[in-house]
Amino acid sequence: MGKPIASALVPGGVVEHLDLMAKTIFGEARGEPLDGQAGVGWVIRNRAEHFGWWGVDIKSVCLKRLQFSCWNENDPNSAVIKAANLDQPMLLQCMGVAALVLSGAALDPTGGATSYFRPGPNGEKPDWADSLKFLTAIGNHMFYGGPR
């Protein structure tokens, strides 16, 4: 079992931060296995725990411009997460995953990742991937962290 997230990373209470993490997981990884969804949640948490450029708490990390494509206005997943509601079983599942990540009840399956991507159809990867250390692959996502 991991440690619960520090209260400083969820200012004003956990509900808004839990909701944003769950919607980010939903937008980025709803088609992934549970450990892949947890991996995205842990990337958010790991970024918040190493606050700075990525943000200073769960909310600011999730909404950091151009970091999670599901929040970009031109991304098709933006409309999906804005229309999401708790009648959708997959959103409920993502809420549960987010709660497990925030509480520390789920261990980090990524080994400390702060970044991930889904390779393109021909295995393409973003330029930044070469500067980070590959940690693991879960489902369709490749997880990276720390300097290479």
- Sheet with 141-147: strands ordered across: 115-117, 141-147, 132-138
Q: What is the mean pLDDT of residues 27-55?
A: 92
Give me the domain span that covers residue 87: 12-108
Q: What is the mean pLDDT of residues 126-139?
A: 94
For 146, the enclosing helix (H) or strand (E) is strand 141-147
pLDDT top residue among 101 and 11:
101
Q: Is residue 127 part of a domain?
A: no
Backbone angles phi, psi at 17, to 5 degrees: -70, -40
Q: Is residue 50 part of a domain?
A: yes
Q: Is residue 122 part of a domain?
A: no
| pTM (global) more than 0.75 | yes
Tell me the C-alpha distance between 15 and 13, whole Å.
Answer: 6
For the chain, the domain total comes to 1
pLDDT top residue among 49 and 15:
49
Q: What is the mean pLDDT of residues 57-68?
A: 91
* 76: three-class secondary structure by DSSP: helix
pLDDT band with cut points at 50, 70 and 90 for residue 1: low
